[in-house]
A and B are shown apart, each in its own frame.
Chain A
Amino acid sequence: MRIAVCWKWVSLDRDHDVDERWAGVSAADEAALEIALLLRDAFDDCDVEVICLGPKDADDVLRSALAVGATSARRIDASAELDGHTVSAALADHLHGADLVVCGDYSIDRGTGSVPVFLAAELGAAQALGLIDVDLASAATMPLRVVRRLDGGRRELLDVSLPAVLSVEGSVARLRRAPLAASLASRSIAIAAVPGPHGRPAEAEVHPYRPRARTLPAPTGGPLTRVREILDIGGDDGHAETVTLDPPAAAGRILDQLREWGY
């Protein structure tokens, strides 16, 4: 069994220039490693490899990955501003044979989250993206049960068979802390680097966002009806209701509704 965790190292400082103090990987990337480490315990004889795209400065985060228990770490030497397609192609070269690939849903420079999509395509693997929960117990029985965030507070339960690519949100798990001795020992480890893509991404043509024109009938009824029409929440499907309650009861009602919507 082989689990690969893909990281993107980004350097962002107070003025968005290169500065090691504000460099690193995102909380989502860290959560991806934690999920991989937790899943490792559920599978027999399982390796967790962390692969990180970035310059030599990124070696430090890879050492910290080894300190928390990753089996191995590898850096693909690459420049910063690459598009998702180039990044995923470079990663895929090293991922053939991986049973499970776990990525963070976003990097610290708030990328598009497209790399996992491209990766799944490159690898011909199943994909489950933007996960907010991974059921660790399901790893013993397979398929893996995961929960995905949908719009409007809805949730999607997915059963994922391997090989698969997952991307997780930062809230899924907090990366464990490295034991002090392991952290100190990792300082002297040399990180293996392989050559990767360099250069700037092709400039994409950017157009201003133009929503499609939509014709609305002349307003009828009272203001509430009008608001419903504009918000497209209709009048009869029970989505909006008017209640008159005292403040504690109103708060309770709101909380109940939010819970029902899955918050």
Chain B
Amino acid sequence: MPEQTTVDAIVVGAGPAGSAAATVLARHGYSVILLERGSFPGSKNMYGGVVYPRILDQLHPEWWLEAPIQRWVTRRSTMVLTDTQAVTVDFRSTDWGAPPYNGATAYRPDWDHWLAGKAEADGALLVCSTTATGLLRDGSGRVVGVTTDRPDGDLHARVVIACDGVNSFLAKEAGLYGEVDAANYTLGVKETIALPKDVIDERFAVRGRDGVDIEILGGTSGVNGGGFIYTNLDTLSVGVVLKLPKLGAQKLRPEQIIANLKAHPAIAPLVEGGEIKEYSAHVIPEAGLSMMPTMTADGMLVAGDAAAMCLAAGIWLEGVNFAMASGMYAGEAAAEALEAGDTSAGGLAGYERRLNDTFVLRDHRKLHRAPALVLSDRVQHRYPAMIANTVERMFRVDNPSPKPGLRRILNEERKRAGVRIRDLAKDTLDGLRTFG
């Protein structure tokens, strides 16, 4: 009979949430095992491509000196596409290309590997190639560890932090999720496309380590969602995010939707001639606050995608920062509970308090209407044409006809797009209440 392995804390999943949690616990001097099912941290993880690491100031000051980033985002564009038109709002700031920076493009197999390495350096024990297959519970139902797919793979701990990603079977097993509804999820699919660095610099009008983040509305072949292009050093991340039930209810496959986006006259000149280096996909917990699970159980916390921490609010698309922050707060709360000798749900309540007091849940509460609004049929299918046609007529010189007034164009285009005044007013108000 093998000896029972017991540690203070088990963190399941060495993604951004798990590594942050493990770092905090290790720094408090607790024994912590960081389980990763991939052969190295980050090998299972995929995202659009931009990380906002400000929260790392608290965990790894001057992180930018060593973090494995591709480019600093100094230029952000929002594009609205119809079949033949494109309206782009473009912003750039040199400030974002210097410390303390804002956003950066990075590969997750690099980023997550680096963060996990920091946790290891602080004393966490990283165990790769090991899948947590379930929870260990005592007679009262309290979580006391996890089972793994290794021989004699049971692990015991005083607290388990589930950072096991969007599918979090551990959170589901613990009964922290209600009914799982596909409508709360989107599918992210992307191609990593190689181009020489100088070609990328030229096409996207950037230099050195500066990079571009382009978010696209209307480029998803009629499936509710959005598109994106991000510049890495010598590759582009080009992809789409697709609302699951809508994707399932039509005929185009995800890779065809990317191909259509890449063939759009406004996109093709940016991406053509590149060599596809990798094709990847991942599910995103899109619905924010409305889909979040209960965050604590007796002996267990949930953080990152496992707790549906992605912020998908149209102009703000963030996930890794919410994962790192929630992991960090989970680590702090777990350390506090271990110190007090009470890791029941009550003893772990410091976690939810921290989430509520910080941007993690405050942003989610403030923007709780955003995911539904951004993915709504009007925003997805009617407004792009209305906006693009309005702009086209504003800028068209139609001599000898005199210029029509902007109000008249907007009104006519609204009607042509089939948008009722009442709905436009309602969405405008919703938008103001959500983002204002």
If the complex has contacts A177-B150, A177-B151, are A183 and B43 also in contact, measured as CB distance less than 8 A? no
Rounded to whole angstroms, the CA-CA distance of A123 and B109 in the bound complex is 44
Report the Cα distance A16→B47, complex, angstroms.
24
Q: How many contacts A-B (CB < 8 Å)?
A: 39
Smallest CB separation, A183 vs chain B (Å)? 7
Interface string of B1-38 (1 = CB under 8 A from A): 01101000000000000000000000000000100000
- The listed residue (B3, B40, B150) touching A183 by CB distance below 8 A is B150
Question: In whole angstroms, what is the CA distance A181 to B155 when docked?
Answer: 9
Q: Which residues of chain A from 9 to 48 have any CB-CB distance to chain B below 8 Å in the complex?
A: 20-21
Q: Is B125 part of the contact surface with A, judged by Cβ < 8 Å?
A: yes
* A1 within 8 Å of B (CB atoms): no
Judge whether A179 is part of the interface by a CB distance below 8 angstroms.
yes
**What residues of chain A lie closer than 8 Å to B127, measured between beta carbons?**
180, 183-184
Chain A: minimal CB distance from B115 (Å):
14
Q: How far is the CA of A176 from the CA of B153 in the complex (A)?
A: 14
B residues 40-72 near A (Cβ < 8 Å) are 40, 43
Contact B150 A180 (CB under 8 A): yes
> Is the Cβ of A180 less than 8 Å from the Cβ of B153?
yes
Give the interface size class of chain A.
Answer: 10 to 19
Complex CA distance for A200 and B40, rounded to whole angstroms: 30
Contacting residues of chain B (130-167) with chain A, CB-CB under 8 angstroms? 130, 148-155
Q: Does B113 make an interface contact (CB < 8 A)?
A: yes
Residues of A within 8 A of B109 (CB): 21
Residues of chain B with a CB closer than 8 A to A179's CB: 2, 150-153
Report the count of interface residues on B (CB-CB < 8 A).
Answer: 20
Answer yes or no: A56 CB below 8 A from chain B CBs.
no
User: Distance (Å) between the CB of B124 and the closest chain A CB?
Assistant: 12
Nearest CB in chain B to that of A187: its residue: B125
Give the chain A neighbours of B149 by CB distance below 8 A: 177
What sequence of 0s and 1s flags, for each residue 170-186 of chain A, a beta carbon within 8 Å of any chain B beta carbon? Answer: 00000011111101100
Q: Which of A21, A181, A184, A187 contacts B40 (CB 8 A)?
A: A21
Q: Which residues of A contact B154 (CB under 8 A)?
A: 180
Which residues of chain B come closer than 8 Å to A20, judged between CB atoms?
40
Q: Which residues of B contact A177 (CB under 8 A)?
A: 149-151
* A180→B5 CA distance, assembly (Å): 9
CA distance A177 to B109 in the complex (A): 24
Asked whether, in the complex, the Cβ of A180 is within 8 Å of the Cβ of B125, the reply is: no
Shortest Cβ gap from A160 to chain B (Å): 31
Contacts of B39 in A (CB 8 A): 21
Expressed in whole angstroms, the Cα–Cα distance for A187 and B40 within the complex equals 16
Contact B3 A181 (CB under 8 A): yes
Q: Are B155 and A180 in contact (CB under 8 A)?
A: yes
Which residues on the B side are within 8 Å of A178 (C-beta)? 150-151
Output the least CB separation between B381 and chain A (Å). 39
Q: Which of A20, A21, A178 gathers most chain B CB within 10 Å? A: A21
Check B43 against A21 for contact (C-beta < 8 Å): yes
B3 neighbours in A (Cβ, 8 Å):
181
Q: How far is the CA of A251 from the CA of B134 in the complex (A)?
A: 44
Interface contact A181-B152, CB-CB below 8 Å: yes
- Complex CA distance for A251 and B153, rounded to whole angstroms: 45
Question: Quick one: closest A residue to B117, CB to CB?
Answer: A20
Q: Interface digits, B101-135 against A, CB 8 Å rule (1 contact, 0 not)?
A: 00000000100010000000000010100100000
Complex alpha-carbon distance, A87 and B388, angstroms: 67
Residues of A within 8 A of B151 (CB): 176-180
Whether B113 lies near A180 (C-beta < 8 A) is no
Complex partner residue of B125 from A21, A181, A184, CB under 8 angstroms: A184
CA distance A176 to B150 in the complex (A): 10
**A60 CB to closest chain B CB, in angstroms?**
10
Nearest CB of B to A248, in Å:
30
**Given A21-B109, A21-B113, A187-B125, CB of A180 within 8 Å of CB of B43:** no
Q: Do the beta carbons of A180 and B152 come within 8 Å of each other?
A: yes
Q: Are A180 and B40 in contact (CB under 8 A)?
A: no
Q: Provide a sorted-by-A list of 23 A–B residue pairs whose CB atoms are within 8 angstroms.
A: A21-B39, A21-B40, A21-B113, A177-B149, A177-B151, A179-B152, A179-B153, A180-B5, A180-B130, A180-B148, A180-B150, A180-B151, A180-B152, A180-B153, A180-B154, A180-B155, A181-B2, A181-B3, A183-B150, A184-B33, A184-B125, A184-B127, A187-B125
Nearest first, the 10 A-B pairs at minimum CB distance are A180-B150, A179-B152, A179-B151, A21-B40, A180-B153, A181-B2, A181-B5, A177-B150, A180-B152, A177-B151
